[in-house]
């Protein structure tokens, strides 16, 4: 499988992505249309994402809980905007145990309604607040056009749901969790996201304000990579989430919700991958170092194997995720290609000469190209076996930083500032436009109709210190927005 060449990104970026997800054994198609099977390699990547996020959630005072997969249909009808937003995507169970149900049950597309119902039972006094709960689970949204990891009928995610006494607290929570997502994306996934506020048209159904982290993929399309919503008192009023305040008066809570899904795996693939395959950031990679023993006969194997075993133990003891490729009947070249396609950050080769010289060969995945006649080509270097765990750890840190630097340069090279609307229409075909917008739905709709580009976010950072004029209609505008085509 590894010998079959991938489509190149330049030829067909979408096909390159689809082939890579399958060949790298991250996921496979399910017999149910639009659903995916996440394979062990992909699931380990998701587990590493979970662990990095879960620590951040707990460090900010959140706890985990689990809520049901089935939600009464009547719950969705309590929040008008919410049900309108999700109605086309709902999967509904009408029969159970061979009988028609008294009330249809929705397979959760998101959990604001069921959690709102539970919060109304649990929250009675200001002393019960804030409630800061996160859930890890799966949800179902009946998508018409699906793509592995990016948009599937069933997907895995976390969804945080919090309740607060005041609007200020809830808005602070919304932005705090947006910062947590941005910190994770930048420092763990090496995806240089942009933080901002969604337009009224693009916001979450039922929210007062939606915030987002937006990433630029290598084909210059935008990928919404995580969202955090201030829900105001909309769900509190719909589900009667009330508390007695310190003046003994009854008040409605202010609530938030925020989520990040397996879509982040798609973001990592499309931000870092190349025509050889995946390039995984070391902090999240299921395997950080793959060791490839090289020998031609039993005598060479007898010399190499003990060294491989010793180094494997050393790296493992240092907390490095390491694997030895002991597959028989495959050439070293095949193994190199196979692990490159799977995106392992660092490859270690150990042969008889390396044993003699007390060294190993290290090849960085983020520097493509191999030429055995040129030491150092393709990020290949020879390193002493002394203090090898420290050398490897240092190289993994270097690779992580290099991936972020490269992705940031790529992002910045695709953000343009068109001078007028005609230029904007051209720019958004292959880049992002960062332009003044009057924030009217009519101008937003015109851009979408003319170009298929949407507003991605009004950035929270980097806004100009002076007003301008809307790129679409020419009316006064105070803020700039990103326009781009998206996944």
Domain-by-domain residue ranges, the chain? 13-272, 289-396, 415-484
Q: What percent of the chain has pLDDT over 90?
A: 92
Residue 62, pLDDT score? 98
Quick one: pLDDT at residue 5? 87
Distance (Å, whole) CA 347 – CA 340: 8
Confirm if 123 and 177 have CB atoms less than 8 A apart. no
Bridge partners of residue 216, in order along the sequence: 222
For domain 13-272, the CATH superfamily is Bira Bifunctional Protein; Domain 2 (3.30.930.10)
- Tell me what the mean pLDDT of segment 1-25 comes to: 90
pLDDT for position 240: 97
Q: What is the mean pLDDT of residues 79-103?
A: 88
Q: Residue 95 and residue 90: Cα distance in Å, rounded? A: 16
Class of domain 289-396: alpha beta
Residues whose CB is less than 8 angstroms from the CB of residue 459 and which lie 6 or more positions away in sequence, other chains included: 194, 195, 196, 480, 481, 482
In the predicted structure, residue 1 carries a pLDDT above the cut 50: no
Is the entire prediction scored with pTM above 0.75?
Answer: yes
Confidence of residue 77 (pLDDT cuts 50, 70, 90): confident
- Please tell me the least confidently modeled range out of 82-96, 139-153, 284-298, 451-465: 82-96
CA 365, 371, 377, 380 torsion: positive or negative? Answer: positive
* Alpha-carbon gap, residue 85 to 8, rounded angstroms: 37
- Digit-coded pLDDT (tens) for 420-472: 999 999 999 999 999 999 999 999 999 999 999 999 999 999 999 999 999 99
Measure the CA–CA gap between 184 and 57, rounded to whole angstroms. Answer: 11
Q: At residue 257, what are phi and psi to the nearest 5 degrees?
A: -145, 155
What does the mean pLDDT of the chain come to?
95
Please determine whether the domains at 289-396 and 415-484 fall in the same fold group of CATH.
no
Better-predicted residue by pLDDT, 83 or 251: 251
pLDDT at 161 over 60: yes
Q: Based on the number of CB atoms within 10 Å of its own CB, is 374 exposed (0-12), middle (13-18) or buried (19 or more)?
A: exposed
**Residue 236 confidence (pLDDT):** 96
Exposure string for 116-143, b = 16+ CB within 10 A, e = fewer = bbbbbeebeebeebbbbbbbeeebbbbb
User: Taking 60 as the threshold, does the pLDDT of residue 207 lie above it?
Assistant: yes
Residue 275, classified by CB atoms within 10 Å of its CB into exposed (0-12), middle (13-18) or buried (19+), is: middle
pLDDT at res. 378: 60
Q: Give the model's pLDDT for residue 373.
A: 44
Give backbone dihedrals phi and psi of 318, rounded to 5 degrees, phi first: -85, 5
Query: Is 3.30.110.30 the CATH classification of the domain at 415-484?
Result: yes
How high is the pLDDT of residue 2? 43
pLDDT for position 309: 98
Q: Where are the beta strands (DSSP E) in 56-184?
A: 63-64, 70-72, 91-96, 99-107, 131-140, 154-164
């Amino acid at each position: 499988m590894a010998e079959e060449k991938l489509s190149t990104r330049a030829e067909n970026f979408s096909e390159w992505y689809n082939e890579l997800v399958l060949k790298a054994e991250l996921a496979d198609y399910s017999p149910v249309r639009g659903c995916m099977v996440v394979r062990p390699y992909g699931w380990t990547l998701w587990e590493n994402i979970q662990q990095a996020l879960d620590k951040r959630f707990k460090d900010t005072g959140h706890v985990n809980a689990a809520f049901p997969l089935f939600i009464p249909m009547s719950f969705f009808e309590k929040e008008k905007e919410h049900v309108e937003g999700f109605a086309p995507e709902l999967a509904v169970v009408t029969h159970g145990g061979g009988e028609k149900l008294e009330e249809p049950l929705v397979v959760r597309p998101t959990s604001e309604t069921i959690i709102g119902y539970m919060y109304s039972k649990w929250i009675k006094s200001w002393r019960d607040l804030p409630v800061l709960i996160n859930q890890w689970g799966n949800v179902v949204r009946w998508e018409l056009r699906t793509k592995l990891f990016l948009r599937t009928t069933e997907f895995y995610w976390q969804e945080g749901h919090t309740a607060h006494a005041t609007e200020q607290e809830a808005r602070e929570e919304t932005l705090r969790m947006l910062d947590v997502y941005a910190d994770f994306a930048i420092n763990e996934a090496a995806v240089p996201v942009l933080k901002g506020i969604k337009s009224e048209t693009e916001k979450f159904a039922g929210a007062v304000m939606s915030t987002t982290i937006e990433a630029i993929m290598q084909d210059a399309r935008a990928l919404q990579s995580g969202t955090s919503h201030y829900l105001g008192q909309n769900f509190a009023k719909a589900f009667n989430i009330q508390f007695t305040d310190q003046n003994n008066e009854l008040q409605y809570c202010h609530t938030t919700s925020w989520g990040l899904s397996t879509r982040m795996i798609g973001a990592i693939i499309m931000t870092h991958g190349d025509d050889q395959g995946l390039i995984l950031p070391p902090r999240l990679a299921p395997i950080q170092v793959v060791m490839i023993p090289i020998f031609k006969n039993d005598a060479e194997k007898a010399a190499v194997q003990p060294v491989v075993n010793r180094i494997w133990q050393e790296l493992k003891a240092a907390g490095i995720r390491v694997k030895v490729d002991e597959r028989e009947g495959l050439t070293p070249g095949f193994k190199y290609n196979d692990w490159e396609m799977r995106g392992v950050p660092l490859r270690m080769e150990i042969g008889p000469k390396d044993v003699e010289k007390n060294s190993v060969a290290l090849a960085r995945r983020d520097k493509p190209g191999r030429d055995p006649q040129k030491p150092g080509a393709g990020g290949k270097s020879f390193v002493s076996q002394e203090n090898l765990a420290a050398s490897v750890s240092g190289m993994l840190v270097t690779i992580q930083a290099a991936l972020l630097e490269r992705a940031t340069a790529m992002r910045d090279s695709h953000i343009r500032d068109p001078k007028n609307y005609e230029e904007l229409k051209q720019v958004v075909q292959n880049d992002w436009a960062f332009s003044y917008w009057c924030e009217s739905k009519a101008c937003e709709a015109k851009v979408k109709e003319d170009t298929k580009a949407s507003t991605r976010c009004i950035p929270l950072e980097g806004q100009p210190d002076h007003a301008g004029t809307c790129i679409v209609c020419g009316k006064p505008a105070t803020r700039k927005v990103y326009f781009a085509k998206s996944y």
